[in-house]
A and B are shown apart, each in its own frame.
Chain A
């Protein structure tokens, strides 16, 4: 395993090809999804990830190992993907800015009409206990999840992809995005609530 160990980094520095192949195979998927949190086009995202690895190779000697390899490569992907997005969608970003609210505000994530005036559930949510695994993790459900993530405001999307799809820890994610631990949690909460809502709309 390369994940957490400095031995993975040492092996890379020694030029161990098997370690490198293991790394790019294991992280290709998560990094592709991360890139796609910024750029919509699949091919552009593929380019970004490839460029990120090339950048990583060139900087291997300088990488000090203060963060995990996964966090490090995620940071490179984020920087490159953001640069690509800026280049490709200057106009779009401006209108999106106007439309967007404050991503860090705590606001109700559940439709207020689901609660009584006293704040109790009017009708309780479904337990989803009778939903078979094959449905819950089936292709159609996953497409709904994917679509819900794509619809999120960019600042919520990047957090949820880093935390829940790429499975990075809270600390590194706050650091990568340059936001406080609390803002990271607020964004994550709002993002998760939206995805849950999409699943509820689909599963009942």
Chain B
């Protein structure tokens, strides 16, 4: 496997979608290749960044309206 190919398999690898044969070849390559290991690390850090977006809290007004709608639903459905 060449680096140029390995970078295109990174998502399949992270998703566990490689065949066991390809997975083995992939891991062998990574173990001996600083460049691809660095690239994989960058991808993992990119994922971490995306997962740590700070969420805006739900606006109070919206929450009140939704809770009211929920109460109405409860009343009419019971």
A→B interface (CB under 8 Å) = 15, 17, 20-21, 24-25, 28-30, 32-33, 46, 50, 53-54, 57-58, 60-61, 106, 108-110, 112, 115, 118-121, 124-128, 136-137, 141-142, 145-146, 149, 160, 164-165, 167, 170, 181, 185, 188-189, 192-193, 195-196, 199-200
**Those of B1-54 within 8 Å (CB) of chain A:** 2-5, 7-8, 10-12, 15, 17, 33-36, 38-39, 41-43, 45-54
Whether A60 lies near B2 (C-beta < 8 A) is: no
A137 CB → nearest B CB, Å: 5
Selected A-B contacts with CB under 8 Å, 24 pairs: A15-B71, A21-B67, A25-B57, A28-B56, A50-B62, A57-B70, A61-B77, A106-B8, A110-B4, A110-B7, A118-B2, A119-B4, A121-B33, A125-B38, A125-B42, A146-B53, A160-B50, A164-B50, A185-B12, A185-B15, A192-B11, A192-B43, A196-B43, A199-B46
Complex-state Cα separation, A50 to B64, whole angstroms: 11
**Which chain A residue shows the least CB distance to B55?**
A29
Complex-state Cα separation, A199 to B48, whole angstroms: 12
Complex-state Cα separation, A166 to B24, whole angstroms: 31
The 7 closest A-B pairs by CB, nearest first: A29-B55, A119-B2, A124-B35, A15-B74, A189-B11, A121-B35, A119-B4
